[in-house]
Structure 1
Amino acid sequence: MNIRRTLAAASAAVVITALALAGASPAFAAKGGGGKPGGGGGGTTELTYTALGDSFAAGQGGGSYLDTSCYRSSNSYPKRLDADAAIKLTAFPACSGASTVEVSAGQIAAIPLGTKRVTLTVGGNDLGFSNIMQNCFVFISNTTCQSQLSTAEGMIAGGTSSVVGAKVAGVITQIKSRLAADGKVVVTGYPKLFNEPSSYAYAARVNADTATLNDVLEATAAANGAGFVDVEVAFTGHGIGSSSPWINSFSWFNTTAAFHPNSTGYANYAALVKPALG
């Protein structure tokens, strides 16, 4: 192996480490007790809330991390919602790399029984998000990229009956078993990552696949009695390559943040999610 290939292999390991699926980790419990200032003293007027899901729920890319195992951020949309006096984040097990499998096996149990609201951001890792980002936009391999995109597209074909639709439906059903009688699950969509037209060869295709995934998530949420928050429109004009990006582009100086919202992006996520919790 020559020097260039050796360096490329070493660099690839860095990207894979930064983007790889993290799997389940111990739940991150929010501080409890006493209520918040202006929140009704004992917290009786607060809406108890748990945030489940992947890196987009954890806040990866937003900086000010609370941990480096799941990249939960104080700038994430769940923590921003928790700053509202009427909303109390009682559990925050969302974790970078989580798919529906990890949410089902390692996060749902962290929901306190009788919780009023649960947000769920999941589906991207079921499609192989990190590998697609690596092979389509960092160490570009046309053959591998196209193969992985085709596989992902097959998993979201068919709406609610698609592979991903069925998995998300199962997660919603599990979550409901832990909610209060008037509890509600809110599924959130994903932003299109790239501003178009883009210099990235696969940007338009990935954006289109993101829109299809969002359609599946919205239809699945509706079919299973959950709410849905669409973030596509709000993020339009703020993708990678725009003059005012809310998504972090790839950088060797901050591989962890790549292809995830920045702090401004998560602030806008929170603004969109908040009304859906009511």
Structure 2
Amino acid sequence: MTTQLRTTLVGLLLVTAGLATAVTVTRHDNTDHPGIAASVRTGPYVALGDSYTSGPRIPVQTGRPAGCDRSDHNYPAHVAAQLRLQPGDIRDVSCSGATLTDLTSSQSTKKGTNPAQLSAISRSTRLVTLGMGGNDIGFSDMITRCVTMGTAFKVLDRAKDMSSHDSPCRESYTDNGIDSTEKRIAGLEPKLTSALRDIQRRAPEARIYVVGYPAILPVGDTGCGRGLPLAPGDIAYLRDKEAELNKTLKDQAVSAGATYVDTYEASRGHDACAAESTRWIEPIVPSNPAAAVHPNARGQRGMAKEVLRAIRAVG
């Protein structure tokens, strides 16, 4: 056998072995996680978001700074586990109270400073989830305000003093027919567009998933008594504002070429007014370990399931 022939045969054997190995790895990946491309499954993965992502008060609280209230059982942790990512292949930089501004600027908390969330992204990043926008429109403050006014409404309604005004909170956000919350939601559009473009610039090969908010309130206007005391009209008002927020997140995700993850439909019937054993969102006084009016561990698992469903759908 000539030297040239031996060299050629060795080269062919190496190529064949390489192809066989590649096929084996691909089959293993697709068997474990149908529809998930290997490049996505292996990360690196960066999770961006606010408290609906970080998981305040859900055991075990971990990460730095402690003021971000991250749980090791939030949806990014579940997604990483299902994709079998190594610890070094996930960076969860979500933080309670975060707004879109905190993507590019550091965020001060009561227990430390969280660096700009986008600083966690690099050209090697292959998967990004973004769950943010609620704090930009002041949704938590709205719920607090509406609950306070709802409690007063119920007292006055029993006295028949406010029977014709069943949405005091909505009225407080409306001036001359202009809803200030709608203006804030509209103001999200350019911020989201800028944020998604920035992510794409920093990680051009990453797949980006914008995660919507789960159902906080039930269908109808009955509320859930002490669990979330709201005037009947304000239940519909808050539900409508959440729907508008999610629609804006979806529209901007689609426009940017990202994927929107709908967690609302899957969480219907698991809102803050649902039974303790089935709800995803805790009421004003939580009975499961979680922050008030935030996802509990069940909710985080449910949100993770929808993120994974979206990843598999894209393939």
TM tier, shorter chain?
0.7 to 0.9
Which piece of structure 1 moves more, 192-201 or 99-108?
192-201
1:79 counterpart residue number: 77
Query: Which of 155, 159, 170 lines up with 2:184 in the alignment?
Result: 155
TM-score of the two chains, using structure 2 as the length reference? 0.67
Q: Does 1:53 align with 2:49?
A: yes
CA shift, 1:47, in A, is 2.2
Given candidates 229, 232, 247, the residue that maps to 1:215 is 247
Superposition pairs of residues 80-119 of structure 1, within 5 angstroms: 80-88=78-86, 89-105=89-105, 106-119=116-129
The correspondence of residues 110-259 of structure 1 with structure 2, limited to 5 A, is 110-138=120-148, 146-148=171-173, 150-156=179-185, 162-179=186-203, 181-197=204-220, 198-199=222-223, 200-201=230-231, 202-243=234-275, 244-251=278-285, 257-259=291-293
In structure 2, runs of 5+ residues without a counterpart are: 1-27, 30-37, 106-115, 153-166, 224-229
Q: Which runs of 5+ in 1 are unaligned?
A: 1-37, 157-161
Per mean C-alpha deviation after superposition, the further-off stretch among 198-207 and 98-107 is 198-207
Letter in 2 for 1:100: L
Q: What's the Cα RMSD here?
A: 2.6
Residues 44-74 of structure 1 show CA distances to partners (whole Å, capped at 9, x for unaligned) of 8612110001111112253321154011111
Q: For 1:228 and 1:48, how far apart are their aligned partners in 2?
A: 20
Q: Residue 241 of structure 1: CA displacement?
A: 1.3
Q: Letter of the 1:224 partner, please give it.
A: A
- From the two aligned structures, give the one with the greater helix fraction: 2
CA distances 1:107-137 after superposition (whole Å, capped 9, x unpaired): 1012233200110011100101221121112
- Normalising by structure 1, we get a TM-score of 0.75
Q: Which has the larger radius of gyration?
A: 2
The correspondence for 1:262, drawn from 275, 296, 301, is 296
How many residue pairs match? The answer is: 232
Question: Which residue of structure 2 aligns with residue 63 of structure 1?
Answer: 59
Residues 252 and 83 of structure 1, relative CA distance in 2, 3 Å threshold: closer
Q: Give the share of equivalent positions with the same residue, in percent.
A: 30
Q: CA deviation at 1:84?
A: 2.3
Letter matched to residue 308 of structure 2 = K
- When residues 118 and 166 of structure 1 are mapped into structure 2, their CA distance, relative to the original with a 3 A threshold, is same
Identify which range, 239-248 or 257-266, moves more after superposition: 239-248
Q: Deviations over 1:213-235 (max 9, x none)?
A: 11111110010111110111100
Decide whether the 8 Å contact of 2:286 with 2:292 is kept in 1: no
Q: Which moved more, 1:195-204 or 1:211-220?
A: 195-204
